[in-house]
Structure 1
Amino acid sequence: MHRVVVLAVSEVIGYDLNIPPQVFASAEQDGKPLYDVRLCGVDDRPIRVSYGYSAQLAHGPEVLAEADTVIVPGTRVAGPRQDGTLPPELAAALARIPAHARIMSICTGAFVLAAAGILDGRRATTHWAHAERFRQLYPRVELDENVLFVDDRDVLTSAGLAAGVDLCLHVIRSDHGSAVANQAARYCVVPPWRDGGQSQFIDRPLPEPDDGSTAATRAWALERLADPLGLEDLARHARMSVRTFSRRFRAETGLSARAWLNQQRVLHARHLLETTNLPVDRVAAESGLGTAASLRQHLNAAIGVSPLAYRRTFSRS
């Protein structure tokens, strides 16, 4: 099995610490677990956990040497969070990670990766509330606090707290396809994919109460992705002016209506490529992306592969 090691750095955020073992342990195929998840600290002592308790983890840092994926949950550790330095015992633990291992962070765990130089020259994200401090400490990292997670090949980072669930499900989906990821999401009673980015959770004035919601229109649009829907069509269905609808839509999803539609069409195209033998041009038409060339362009922009390469990798048909 693929071995996932969660490195808890004191004081670790308890919610973040428990996301990877729960989500990855829920990923199964034919009744067999796909991941072996282990938790460790930088030493063998009990780890301090946020909000008043400590935990004795089953493993010490030596297990990092056996990892295929290493995840650093959110932490309040002083050096990486306050002055950009890396404590010697933490640096020693990180040095145990094999060169081939995939490295991930949840929330403020990105501060640890940045302090270790792992994020230099890469795109990354962290909790939006700590973005300004992160930029001050780590100017060589290309930070984007408006997304739920960033997949930069072998290094992946997630935004605050629950975005760690989104990242873990994304990794399962990348490793084993949508069916396995969706099954894990159902077991965890969470959505397999959340629309928009972290920006929708940043504090902002509430919409006017008479603006209504765009949720019903989003559900309506998901049933009609193959149709040539435009902003005017969506606003008309929501019984709003285009201006009001656009403002409300962005407040609720963090995206423009056009960007959201493109995202949903790419997701649907991926589903069709995985689960059917439809020709690529038919997949493009049924997902609302028009032509095979358009599908190729959108899929390459989203995940960096062509439709045929994606189907070869993830097809379950």
Structure 2
Amino acid sequence: MSRKTIDKNLSFFVTDTLSMIEETLLRKGKIAILHNRKGSSKILRCEKCEYKFPCSTCNSSMTLSDDGKNLLCRFCKTVIPFDKRCPACGSKKVGERVYGIEKIYRLLKEYYPDFTIVKFTGRMDGTEEEFDIIIGTSVIKKILGSYNFSLLVIVSGESFLNIPDYNSEERFFIMVNEMRSLLNNPECKILIQTRSPNLEVYKALVENNPDLFYTRELSIRKQLLYPPFSEMIKIEIKGTKKDVFERKKEAVEKYIKEQGYELFYSGPAFPPVKKGKGVWKYLLRFKDNFDRDGLRKLAEEIDAAFEENPSQI
């Protein structure tokens, strides 16, 4: 099969990544491939110039509305009309692409039939049969110290960073450093595919410089009044019956209005459906004292989830 055909069909890998994978396989090295199928791996981009449609308010990646008429920022709620053209180059070749673990696994097996390729499962403990490539989500870190890996590939940095959460970069930074510490082969290369290689988080990872990352991260959080420079409360309502769901929403909104609190966010959670139940989320941010016990009691009365300074909003 030609190099061009392989590159085209394995388009979730850039040519340099495929070259490193093949070189590692030929040297009989083991490869771990990590993909975040639980995060938002949908990236809206221009196929001609690679423009990524950042939000003008918070710089998060925007997504298309269901009807395709608007661009939405699920983090700060910015909505702008979308004329189906790239604002940078004018091209109409704009779309969203998604690749899940199953597709990556299936195509790698198809194009590299002479090598053993497996999917990681939570039941694996590092004593399983031999393999050349193993593919999984971030839980793959459980076995990084059990094998002598030569290459760790993170398919899409954006799938971790383009999540509507103020601390997504910090979680990604911690995850990569944790994986680096777990690898028992000091020569193992970590390759992160990204369309934004100039982000400070990547520079800090390459230089192994936590101070560089956290100095910038704290500066941004201070400007935007995110924790630790404020208190944040998350109330999450789940339900399948519309009337019950709406009554719970009304109770929360009435209480917030009576207390004179300002909502930071009110809308669908991310993802908006969990285990078949609709999920609605309220975020409140406080710079001064507030009645946290009253909010907690409200959540208990309507059977809603309550969390202070949530690790994930």
TM-score scaled by length of structure 1: 0.28
Select the structure of larger CA radius of gyration.
2
Higher strand share: 2
TM-score scaled by length of structure 2: 0.28
Bigger relative contact order, structure 1 or 2, given CA contacts below 8 A and separation 6+? 2
